[in-house]
Amino acid sequence: MSAALSVLFALLAAVGNASGTVLQRIAAVTVPHGDAFSVRLVGHLLRRPAWLAGIAVIVGAAACQALALNLGSLSLVQPLLVIELPLTLLIAAAHSRRPLPAAGWAASAMVAGGLGLALAAAKPSGGHSQVPGGLWALTLVCTTGAMALCVLAALPRPRGRLRAALFGSASAIGYALTAVLMTAATDIFARDGGTAFLTAWQFYGFVAGGACALFLLANAMESGPLIASQPALTLGEALISLALGMLVYGERARTGWWLIPEAVGAVLVTWGVLILPRVDTETPRKL
């Protein structure tokens, strides 16, 4: 029952994140180019109702993600969020009143089918909640360092796909780190109650990490089209979360011959994720 509820809340989080992404994209394209990666960017976005609505939806999605992580493992919950990409394209297509073409539906089916196959074969399990301080320090240094490198590589680039992909990659690392810290914080809440939760450094860590990842995502959307930022964000977050779940919490996946369906599922997901952003959902249909 816990695993089923974890999957349900993870899917609700994916729906919320997809809706929030579309709303943020609507707001981000109106930002003056000279205000990217600055405090002025936040000021512009705060005056956009679409962005504020997107934030509200994402906060709700974060609550669903926290519940999912409390009920299930990081290695189960985070890959399920890959379904966010086809949902984002479907919602964007509905907003622009442009039907999703057959290629979009086929790629969406590949992502959903591949994800189901990979997770059923891997059957993530195990893990522990006690993480040594040294491992936390190493995790924070590696993830924040990788984010900084992506940002430093993106800043000199002109607006375009490469800049958007680099900011998307930095955001993916930030969201994966946020999920790791959120897992620890929700475990503290379940074990020790609300006071311990609000005084734990992991709580403030995942709030700061989520805010940073959100800011980087806004810059990714301002820098270029979804085709550039979404694959890096979607695949990057899932893969990094899987790696962190195994390294930090000791979670495990089945090996042996199970690696064959896992690999097939991973290929289908990757293929679908690379195809989906190429589907034009942002150009309104001419009436």
With helix as H, strand as E and coil as C, how does 126-144 read? ECCCCCCHHHHHHHHHHHH
pLDDT > 70? residue 216: yes
Are β-strands 251-252 and 125-126 bridged in parallel, bridged antiparallel, or unpaired?
A: antiparallel
pLDDT > 60? residue 132: yes
Q: Which residues pair with 126 in a beta bridge?
A: 251
What pLDDT score was predicted for residue 42? 66
Split at pLDDT 50, 70, 90, the class of 201 is very high
| CA 67 vs CA 13, 63, 125, 224: distances in Å | 10, 6, 17, 33
Split at pLDDT 50, 70, 90, the class of 2 is confident
pLDDT > 80? residue 183: yes
Rounded Cα gap, residues 28 and 36, in angstroms: 10
Q: Decide: 35 and 44 in contact? Cβ < 8 Å.
A: yes
**Which stretch of 14-28, 91-105, 205-219, 229-243 has the lowest confidence by average pLDDT?**
91-105
- Other Cβ atoms within 10 Å of 269 Cβ, number: 26
- If you ran DSSP here, which 8-state letter would residue 160 be given? S
pLDDT > 90? residue 170: yes
**Which stretch of 14-18, 109-113, 152-156 has the lowest confidence by average pLDDT?**
109-113
In the chain, the amino acid numbered 178 is: T
Encoding tokens for residue 35? Answer: 């205000």
pLDDT > 70? residue 283: no
pLDDT > 60? residue 34: no
Element (H, E) at 125: strand 125-126
